Amino acid sequence: MLQEDQIAQIVTRAVEANAAPNSVRRVMTEPADTFEGEDAVRITIVLTPDAVKQLADGDPGDVFIRVWNEMRAAEDPRFPILDYATEAELEDVGDSES
């Protein structure tokens, strides 16, 4: 299975194929399961605010398809579950949990 830094590289390439360079601030991963109990990986992609708009204006499935295809090519069988956030949104979530 791919390591977190390898997934981050795949995700960054996929995002930047649809948004400006340096659109990805960071990528976080954690183990997950699909609804059917199969192995998955939850990938949180922290984006710049401009990237959010660029991705929304494009094909919403393109990033997912690129990530999934590259993970399969690297023989990582886990299903990617993609979440998107900006730094501000992550801070808001952290503030509401206090």
pLDDT of residue 50: 92
Give the pTM: 0.90
Residue 70 maps to a domain: yes
Domain that holds residue 48: 4-91
Residue 78 maps to a domain: yes
Q: How far apart are CA 58 and CA 69, in angstroms?
A: 19
Q: How confident is the model at residue 93 (pLDDT cuts 50, 70, 90)?
A: confident
- Residue range 20-41: mean pLDDT, rounded: 96
Residue 98 maps to a domain: no
Residue 8 maps to a domain: yes
At a CB cut-off of 8 Å and minimum separation 6, what does 42 contact? 29, 30, 31, 32, 81, 83
CATH number of the domain bearing residue 15 = 3.30.300.20
Average pLDDT for the chain: 93
Q: How far apart are CA 23 and CA 50, in angstroms?
A: 8
Residue 97 maps to a domain: no
pLDDT of residue 95: 65
Query: What does each C-alpha distance from 65 to 17, 18, 86, 87, 96 come to in angstroms?
Result: 12, 12, 21, 24, 33
Give yes or no for residue 37 having a pLDDT over 80: yes
Give the total number of structural domains in the chain.
Answer: 1
Count CB-CB contacts under 10 A for residue 10: 22
